[in-house]
Amino acid sequence: MTAHDPSSHSLQLTSSGQLKHFLTLDGLERALLTDILDTADSFIEVGERTIKKVPLLRGKTVVNLFFESSTRTRSTFELAAKRLSADVLNLDISTSATSKGESLSDTLLNLEAMASDMFVVRHSQSGAPHFIAESVTPGVAIINAGDGRHAHPTQAMLDMLTIRQHKGGFEGLKVAIVGDILHSRVARSQIRALNALGAEEVRVIAPGTLLPRDVESLGCTVEYDMIRGMRDLDVVIMLRLQKERMEGALLPSEREFYRLYGLSQDKLALARPDCLVMHPGPINRGVEIESAVADGPQSVILNQVTNGIAVRMAVMSMAMSGQVSERTQAVGEQG
């Protein structure tokens, strides 16, 4: 199964440019990404209320369809759906039973028979959410919660919201993404988002064995030396070493990786004094980042978690609204 990015623009958007699926950031304009951030901003105060609910998805059924385990992402999607007043069904499905397109189609047919309105899909194969969006009954929204090495668009957008809250915008910012770029769908989505939103420079800092061959084509500069790469940074995003995805000896040892690429207080001191420290989680302390930095005053890691709920509320409500408007338009044209 491969990612279907060339068609993702028309697949994701209604004829009037509204979001109806959220599969990738590829092809989405700055105005739409800003609209997602603005909508998420409006939902942040919902989490501060005594009753943390709005009725936007009342009567709708959201299915969290996770073919790959993730406690954090699934939990925030579940909370987001419930805060929008949706009914939520959580399904953890073994990848061995659904590794072929045919069995995935059968799964979809059964779920559609339950009158589901939205699938939040996480899958180990790149392109699975695109496949589902192309196959699903019209009117059902598909949200990508991470597919293979391809994309994790809601994670990137919650990171963008966190950056905007602390920096006010993206113009003039120098941002580095550090670590296991090769296996990271988050890094790919972050690079797309930062470029679309107008960051001055996006760097990736990693050993050559943890960089994809075409990484510069995504719109970033490459630095192999972290001491050089940390200079003048406004934001540094550390990535988890994804040992479960690694094949072969890509690293001499975790200790050596930490020595060269782990974020310590000494390395952070090379960046600008107000440089933000971010990590999509889960954190491997002493491997990617020193505890004193992860828990330090420049860390916004817990802000990222909080913002994840608001961003997912924004994406889910916008996609459902787009689906409704497209159905209404189709009915009008038939009439």
Determine if residue 123 is labeled as part of a ligand binding site: no
Q: In angstroms, rounded to a whole number, what is the distance separating the alpha carbons of residues 273 and 286?
A: 22
Determine if residue 152 is labeled as part of a ligand binding site: yes
Two structure tokens written together for 307: 């913002």
Determine if residue 122 is labeled as part of a ligand binding site: yes
With a cut of 50, which residues of the chain have pLDDT below it?
1-7, 95-96, 244-249
Can you give the pLDDT at residue 2? 42
Neighbours of 150 (CB within 10 A): 26
Q: In angstroms, rounded to a whole number, what is the distance separating the alpha carbons of residues 166 and 279?
A: 15
Determine if residue 164 is labeled as part of a ligand binding site: no
Residues of the chain with CATH 3.40.50.1370: 5-152+306-334, 153-304
Q: Residue 237: enclosing H or E segment and its boundaries?
A: strand 235-238
φ/ψ of residue 211, rounded to 5: -120, 135
- The CATH architecture of the domain made up of 153-304 is 3-Layer(aba) Sandwich (3.40)
335's CB contacts (< 8 A; 6+ apart) are none
Determine if residue 282 is labeled as part of a ligand binding site: yes
pLDDT in tens, 157-203: 999 999 999 999 999 999 999 999 998 999 999 999 999 999 999 99
Determine if residue 73 is labeled as part of a ligand binding site: yes
CATH 3.60.10.10 matches 5-152+306-334: no
Global confidence as pTM: 0.91
Positive or negative, the CA dihedral 246, 194, 54, 327 is negative
Strands 118-123 and 87-92: unpaired
Determine if residue 82 is labeled as part of a ligand binding site: no
Determine if residue 72 is labeled as part of a ligand binding site: yes
> Is-contact 215 222, C-beta < 8 A?
yes
